[in-house]
Amino acid sequence: MSRTTNGRGRLYSSVVETMGDTPVIRLNRIAPDHVTIYVKAEAFNPAASVKDRLAISIIEEAEASGALAPGQTVVEATSGNTGIGLAMACAATGHPLVIVMVESFSIERRRLMRFLGAKVVLTPKGEKGIGMYRKARELAEANGWFLARQFETPANALVHRNTTAREILADFEGERLDYFVTGYGTGGTVNGVSEVLKAERPEVKIVLTEPANAALVSSGVAQERESDGGPAQSHPDWEPHPIQGWTPDFIPAVLQEALERDAYDRMVPVTGPEGIEMARALATQEGIFTGISGGSTLAAAMKMATEVDAGSVMLVMLPDTGERYLSTPLFEGIEEGMSEEEVALSMSTPGYQMP
């Protein structure tokens, strides 16, 4: 039977309206035989990551409250995906945007934000995430700009309660779901989704994951904070890790709120190499393209799968697309030129060979 499509049955007045309703996809080749694993592919959002939800929520909530005036400049500190989402949302709503970003994050992210019209200010990697956070705050105070405050704003968890969680409930209506697996960056996903699932699907266990070498939540060490909820300094247990978008060098206030109400049931740490390996397996064996954070979340789910009951059903968040990682270790060994095997294939027939 030939594949056909019927359209979405609606017209959109702005790109921001296309956010959400991302697909839940079953894994058919790499999941263990005794469990069913689905992934929620957030790369289907308009700027290709879960942070589009947060970005649009920040702008719309701030405009509605009057905190963000028409045409006012927005400034934010980000590892990349929130910045790309904000660049998309600000371009669509007429707000200039300035992003502050640690120099060590992938070059593709900087270029994408600039392509969408944002200015990108880099901070030294030695100052870590808290350096870019403080620089953004300085710029906001000096210029009268609107500081997005993704790590503290109530708009963060709110959008996941209102969209991500509701989509999961609708997609699994009448269906079994035992585990929801997610990493954390700001903490908005686990905060918002867990609140709704624990109320409406209490049988679902929430599995949180973090880098094994930057296990801030597992450390049990409290985050020192400023009076406004922002971090006072870097967390002592943080170390550099390759899982971009996960675990800044402090515990965000949005995540802290979730921790204080016991929002998760199990913590599963993963290493960067485990995440990279799983992202590659997902691409080559399932045709699903995600970044290191998505691979790492799936790696945590695979660890959980070794101890869950047969027949269990898991849903794994995939935060973004792999194209955001071309200059990172995810693509090490993926050459631009032909490999020896590819050259041999070319030479196996007489025509059209590269010199």
Calculate the CA 224 to chain-centre distance: 25
**Tokens representing residue 125 in the block:** 């990697």
Q: How many CB atoms neighbour CB 25 within 10 A?
A: 17
- Residue 293: active-site member: yes
Whole-number Cα distances in Å, 9 to 6, 12, 17, 66, 181: 8, 10, 14, 33, 32
The residue type found at 257 is: E
Question: What residues contact 222, with CB distance under 8 A and at least 6 apart?
Answer: none
Q: 273 with 207: CB under 8 angstroms?
A: no
Instruction: Give alpha helix (H) positions in 160-287.
Output: 165-171, 188-200, 216-219, 253-260, 272-286
Residue pair 152/228 in contact by the 8 Å Cβ criterion: yes
3-class state of residue 267 by DSSP: strand
Residues counted in the chain: 355
Helices then strands, counting H and E runs in the chain, come out as: 12, 10
Which residue among the candidates 49, 57, 293, 312 is catalytic per the annotation?
Answer: 293
The pair of structure tokens assigned to 227 is 């009076």
Q: Which of 40, 51, 198, 205 is catalytic?
A: 51
Q: Give me the active site residues, please.
A: 51, 293
